[in-house]
Amino acid sequence: MGKLSNRRIAPTRYALNSHLTRSQPAHAKAMGRRFFLGRTAGLFWAASGLTTPIAAGAAVFKESRPIGIQKAAFFDIACQGALLLAVGERGVIARSTNAGESWTTQRLSLGRSLTSLSVTDRLCIAAGHGGLVARSTDQGASWQVLQSPDLQQLNPGQDAWLSARVDSRGRIFLTGAFGKFLVSQDQGETFKRLEVFEEGFDWHLYHLLEDRFHKAWILMGESGHLGETPSSTDILDLVKPGDAPVVFPASTMPYKGSFFGGLVTPMGSRLVYGMRGRIFRQSSPLAAWQEVSVSDPYSWMASLVLKDGRIMLLGEQGRAALSDDDGRRFTVQRLATSTLAAACQLENGNVWLAGLDGLQPAQGLSR
């Protein structure tokens, strides 16, 4: 394992407000899981700035002994048909082709944690700590670590990727620490960096949301940073040849904390959420963002629209917030014992959860 450089550390999308600040150097020993526990229970900081380069031939290999799916922390999960894929700590990748009846596990030989996963019919992308990006073209059966020179040049500090997105056109979008925002239009062979909000922007970017209802995009980050493209406007439509590619004009938000994610409801409303249980709803692209109150002030990390139309948010201490009225009101229940990072729903209706206690099917999703 490489040494930690004397630079700021980038949080995962589920981790903020610890005793470590943006400007504080990362004076810490490199621990096996590469996490540092903050003062608030369940909040973890992921150290970026790992100086060991991604070597040619970096590979994924199957463990000689299977990794128990409840023995490792998992940070993202995706469903497609009967396929389940999940990624997590120290580069672990779990895969099931029979709706979770049995699992196989692999691990990136680099051992860097994976924080985000995006799955389509033809392409799967996983990204995470140390600037790591991996690609699969066989629904997660095998993986290749991307070694594009662009990734090295555009992210020389190997800062963490906090969100990976493959859109409906097959383009790859990576957002991460210190304002990093890359796009690839050739399945990861080459990348281009986009400046967001303003030239030189260096706050962390946690989530990129494709609003297919309004054919628009929403970008979320720390300290209240949120931007929206106009309806029927693609991200790359905002890039003018010859000019600095500044996209996502900032929106005025009534909250200056961090936004970890968002979703578009079946009725076309938008929700964004993040620290301290804060949720904001926008009924249409031109409407003002309104805060939605919840009973518990726990940070929300991820979300899912269930097949019955309900909206589910996932967060700290195993909490889930459920709404059956387009996100106007939520009720909170507990689905697990520790922080939940992601969820997905199979065609058979079963919901799988990913979090600090591993992977597990959801029980008791009461109405």
**pLDDT of 165 higher than 90:** yes
**pLDDT of 24 higher than 60:** no
C-alpha to C-alpha distance for 276 and 272, rounded to whole angstroms? 13
**SS3 at position 262:** strand
**b/e code 120-139 from CB counts within 10 Å (16+ = b):** eeebbbbbbbbbbbbbbeeb
C-alpha to C-alpha distance for 183 and 174, rounded to whole angstroms? 6
On whether the CB atoms of residues 162 and 180 are closer than 8 A, the answer is: no
Tell me the average pLDDT across 8-24.
36
pLDDT in tens, 311-343: 999 999 999 999 999 999 999 999 999 999 999
C-alpha to C-alpha distance for 14 and 291, rounded to whole angstroms? 20
Tell me the average pLDDT across 34-38.
27
C-alpha to C-alpha distance for 72 and 92, rounded to whole angstroms? 8
C-alpha to C-alpha distance for 58 and 162, rounded to whole angstroms? 21
pTM value > 0.75: yes
The mean of the pLDDT values for the chain is 82
Band of pLDDT at residue 61, cut at 50, 70 and 90: low
Greater model confidence, 292 or 30: 292
- pLDDT for position 54: 53
Copy the structure tokens of residue 282.
């926008």
> DSSP string of 150-214?
HHHHH-TT-PPEEEEEE-TTS-EEEEEGGG-EEEESSTTSS-EE-EESSTT--S-EEEEEEETTT
pLDDT in tens, 87-143: 999 999 999 999 999 999 999 878 899 999 999 999 999 999 999 999 999 999 999
Band of pLDDT at residue 27, cut at 50, 70 and 90: very low
Greater model confidence, 45 or 37: 45
Residues in the chain: 367
- In the chain, the largest separation of any two C-alpha atoms, in whole Å, equals 55
- pLDDT for position 105: 93
- pLDDT for position 63: 54
**pLDDT of 18 higher than 50:** no
**pLDDT of 5 higher than 50:** no
**b/e code 266-297 from CB counts within 10 Å (16+ = b):** eeebbbbbbbebbbbbbbebeeebeebebeee
On whether the CB atoms of residues 208 and 196 are closer than 8 A, the answer is: no
**pLDDT of 56 higher than 60:** no
pLDDT in tens, 342-361: 999 999 999 999 999 999 99
pLDDT in tens, 280-304: 999 998 899 999 999 878 899 999 9
Closest to 128 in 3D by CA, of 84, 170, 174: 174
